């Protein structure tokens, strides 16, 4: 009697699926010949992931993969090499001279960051970090004056007040006989700081019942399979993402910060209020005539306050978290750091001042060494914006190619840092730094698109560490599962394990 209709439909569907799979397989095999044809050393890919190892968790990140790529290419003696993330081709840089070329010397060929943006459909999600050329330069010029030394000093007292809340909370926690959840405490501190200096609001992050900002900060780094899929499409096919009108930022996050900015702007105008904060600087630029080079739109204010919030609270809290981790593991270094702090403060009548922080050179060595081992941004990416020939080769990097740099790989490279797992701030004395290539330690990036807020981030981190070390002696709690390992699920550095510190009040 022949096959039933339903059986024929199943056969047709299976045929289409098999044919589609074969077509995709053929396409990928063609893509995977790209670096070989160009005569570029490469790491052998596997269908369909290419060289990606971390697939479909809560999100998708190539941060830890980039470190593995660096290590493999370095072990084979290559100065650069090709990899694939699914079908997308990437060039991994190993030699610091090439890194210098791409980030600084020949920057005009690598203007754009490898970060998704969709300015047409998502203007409030397009900020200084992900904006593409030609708009980045104008925006950078507008925002640069907000991070001068004078502006840092203007915000200094607000940071000290926020650190008081942190120390009060820590004292109470220690008095109650509890260990300290380092990451949460430091993230609450930096959230309070950014709330104050960016939005002019008191966040109360140490009071969980009131902290809308802290809740919003946590939500930015969590997601479900749907947000993971959105990130996947944006990471591996920006063009398709823009056609689908996908956004870089979650809608609830954009809505929250839009309302905060709008209500703050209206309140200050109505009541003629001015505050020494980041938002005020942006509001002043917003009041400039539209044709002025200084003018910023309302959407640009929202987008860049979101960026300031993310970068300001997360990267600084991460830097402090791992710095305190290493100091808790190394009591002699902790004591030496505390002794320097106390010596400098004694010269300033016991007061923490902007100038006093600049004199704490060993503290900066400690922070630099922590960022070597635990760089907050563990992968840097640039997009080739016009064809470029790699120096001393005939290799052409074609427009649209992603170029990857691994600060994590560089920082843990035994050629540059012998016994790299050892925490040793002496690596960052002026004499030792002078022996190394300047593009080996680049936790803030380098060149025209380096981190615009690096001075603010360091000031915030120094204040937090100084306040903690002058109040407590630290050790690792037995609750902490050691050693800490790096999460492969996040774009910014996170550990898989929670860090609990045991603190003894001084």
Q: Please state the residue numbers annotated as binding site for heme.
A: 451
CA dist., res. 286 & res. 301, Å (int): 8
CA dist., res. 282 & res. 273, Å (int): 14
What does each C-alpha distance from 381 to 267, 345, 460 come to in angstroms? 40, 40, 26
Annotated binding-site ranges: 451
CA dist., res. 150 & res. 170, Å (int): 31
- Nearest residue to 71 via CA among 51, 56, 86, 89: 51
CA dist., res. 326 & res. 334, Å (int): 9
Angle, alpha carbons 169-180-175 (nearest 5°): 55
CB 402 within 8 A of CB 88: yes
Residues 6+ apart with CB under 8 A from 136: 111, 112, 128, 449
CB 205 within 8 A of CB 191: yes
Angle, alpha carbons 171-474-335 (nearest 5°): 120
Tell me the chain's radius of gyration from C-alpha atoms: 24
The 8-class DSSP code of residue 78 comes to -
Phi and psi torsions of 23, nearest 5°: -65, -45
Q: State the SS3 of 330-395.
A: CHHHHHHHHHHHHHHHHHCCCCCCHHHHHCCHHHHHHHHHHHHHCCCECCEEEECCCCEECCCCCC
* H or E, element range at 112: strand 112-113
CA dist., res. 247 & res. 125, Å (int): 7
């Amino acid at each position: 009697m022949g096959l039933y209709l339903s059986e024929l439909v199943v056969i047709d569907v299976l045929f289409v699926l098999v044919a589609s799979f074969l077509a995709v397989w053929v396409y990928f095999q063609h893509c995977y010949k790209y670096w070989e044809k160009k005569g570029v050393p490469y790491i052998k890919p596997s269908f369909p992931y290419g060289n990606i190892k971390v697939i479909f968790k809560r999100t998708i990140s190539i941060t830890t993969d980039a470190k593995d790529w660096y290590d493999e290419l370095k072990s084979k003696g290559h100065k650069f090499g090709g990899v694939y993330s699914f079908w997308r081709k990437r060039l991994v840089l190993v030699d610091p001279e090439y890194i210098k070329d791409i980030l600084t010397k020949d920057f005009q060929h690598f203007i754009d960051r490898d970060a998704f943006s969709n300015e047409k459909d998502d203007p409030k999600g397009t900020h200084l970090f992900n904006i593409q050329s030609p708009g980045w330069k104008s925006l950078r010029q507008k925002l640069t004056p907000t991070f001068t030394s004078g502006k840092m000093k203007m915000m200094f007292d607000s940071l000290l007040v926020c650190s008081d809340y942190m120390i009060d909370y820590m004292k109470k926690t220690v008095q109650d006989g509890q260990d300290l959840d380092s990451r949460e405490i430091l993230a609450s501190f930096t959230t309070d700081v950014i709330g104050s200096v960016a939005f002019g609001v008191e966040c109360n992050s140490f009071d969980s019942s009131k902290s809308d900002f802290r809740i919003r900060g946590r939500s930015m780094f969590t997601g479900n399979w749907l947000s993971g899929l959105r990130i996947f499409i944006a990471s591996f096919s920006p063009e398709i993402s823009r056609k689908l009108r996908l956004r870089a930022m979650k809608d609830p996050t954009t809505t929250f910060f839009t309302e905060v900015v709008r209500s703050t702007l209206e309140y200050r105008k109505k009541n003629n209020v001015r505050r020494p904060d980041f938002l005020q600087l942006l509001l002043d630029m917003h009041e400039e005539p539209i044709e002025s080079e200084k003018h910023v739109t309302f959407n640009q204010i929202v987008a860049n306050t979101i960026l300031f919030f993310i970068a300001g609270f997360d990267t600084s809290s991460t830097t402090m978290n791992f710095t305190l981790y290493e100091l808790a593991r190394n009591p002699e270094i902790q004591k030496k750091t505390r002794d320097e702090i106390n010596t400098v403060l004694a010269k300033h009548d016991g007061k923490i001042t902007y100038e006093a922080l600049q004199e704490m050179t060993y503290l900066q060595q400690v922070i630099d060494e922590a960022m070597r081992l635990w760089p907050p941004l563990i992968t840097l990416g640039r997009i080739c914006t016009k064809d470029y020939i790699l120096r001393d080769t005939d290799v052409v990097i074609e427009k649209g190619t992603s170029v990857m740099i691994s600060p994590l790989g560089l920082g843990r490279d035994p050629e540059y840092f012998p016994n790299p797992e050892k925490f040793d701030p002496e690596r960052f004395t002026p004499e030792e730094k002078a022996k190394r290539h300047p593009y080996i330690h680049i936790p803030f990036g380098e060149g025209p698109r380096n981190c615009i807020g690096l001075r603010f981030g360091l000031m915030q981190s120094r204040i937090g560490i100084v306040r903690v070390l002058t109040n407590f002696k630290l050790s690792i709690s037995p609750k902490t599962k050691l050693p800490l390992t790096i999460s492969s699920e996040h774009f910014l550095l996170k550990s898989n394990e929670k860090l609990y510190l045991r603190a003894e009040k001084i």
